[in-house]
Amino acid sequence: MKIGYYPGCAITKGATSEEYGTSVMKVSEVIGPKIEEIPDWSCCGASSAHATNHKLSTALSVRNLSLAEQHEYEEILAPCPMCSQRLIISQKDVQDDDVLKREVEDAIEMPCGTNVKVSNYLEIIKNYSMDEIKQKIKKTAKGLKVACYYGCLLVRPPKVLKFDDPEDPQSMDEIVRAIGAEPIDWEFKTNCCGGGFTLSRPDVVVKLTNDILEGAQEAGAHAIAVACPMCHANLDMRQKKIEKEYKRKYDIPIVYISELIGLALGLGAIGLGLDKHFVDTKSVVDAYT
């Protein structure tokens, strides 16, 4: 079975979170599953579309599902949770509303892709690659305490996404455990980082991310693992500013779960994109032996 790959704008080459995309691809080459980029995919519309125009938001997302179905993918991987959440919600909306479905089909000039399964990155790893990880693991990071940060979009709305426990998710923790690091129990796993307000209301983002960083630090985290480019951007790129504003020292590397898997598989840190982070990731890289 081949899995369609929908990277989304934020993690493509040259974008803010390209290292997420790079590490996802690299890891997949080692432990599978095989993924293929959906030809000519387009933006899902993200928060800007759903915040202002429901029909547009639905059409922009469903276009990609329809493309995936045209290319006969039964399942697609959307590592960016903003994308996976929008794709899943939009698919459900057209499934539930015939009028909307007809309008969307008129706009995208294709039948709606109502059958293709959309999976986030944690789901893909859990469903296809856990055994592979166990077999191919080369290094472990014993004693590296990792705060798994899921954010909003992986788990909410739970009734639609049907993924993990929205108040205390465990999927990423299980993966971290499988690659020989130590997931910690902490209180801010699904708190909001301010997401899309990074440009328009940076003040809000700074406050929310400070809460998260403080929570992780108090719980003794050496690093925060994420699976979302927006969470990453807010926690990593803004960490200096947060430290300045709140007069605190965090210095907590923010790493993608795919990067952590890559390190455990013995892949090179630079190749995984760990040099692209704002907060130095050396301590994490060095923890792998």
Partner 1 sequence: MKIKINLNERSSDFAKEVEKRSGIKVKECYQCGKCTAGCPVAYEMDYMPNQIIRLVQIGARREALTSRTIWLCASCITCSTRCPKEVMIAELMDVLREMALEEGLANPSEKNITSFHESFLNSVKKHGRISEVWMLNEYKMKRPKTALQDLAVAPQMVVKGKLSFVPHNIKGKDAISRIFKKCKPK
**Interaction with partner 1 in 88-107: which residues (CB under 8 A)?**
103, 106-107
Nearest CB to partner 1, comparing residues 133 and 235: 235
Q: Which is nearer to partner 1, 32 or 166 (CB)?
A: 166
* Binding flag, residue 25, partner 1 (CB under 8 A): no
CB of 33 or CB of 278, closer to partner 1 = 278
- Residues 200, 247, 249, 289: which binds partner 1 (CB under 8 A)? 200
Among 3, 38, 46, 257, binds partner 1 (CB under 8 A): 46
C-alpha dist (Å) from residue 33 to 30, 44, 121: 9, 23, 11
**204 in contact with partner 1 (CB under 8 A):** yes
Note every long-range contact of 12-21, with CB atoms under 8 Å and residues 24 or more positions apart, other chains counting: 16/229, 16/233, 16/237, 17/80, 17/229, 17/232, 17/233, 18/273, 18/276, 19/256, 19/259, 19/272, 19/273, 19/274, 19/276, 19/277, 20/79, 20/80, 20/229, 20/232, 20/256, 20/258, 20/273, 21/79
User: Per CB under 8 A, does 121 bind partner 1?
Assistant: no
Site residues, partner 1 (CB under 8 A): 9-10, 12-18, 40-43, 45-56, 59-60, 63, 103, 106-109, 152, 155-158, 166, 190-192, 194-197, 199-202, 204, 208, 237-238, 240-241, 275-276, 278
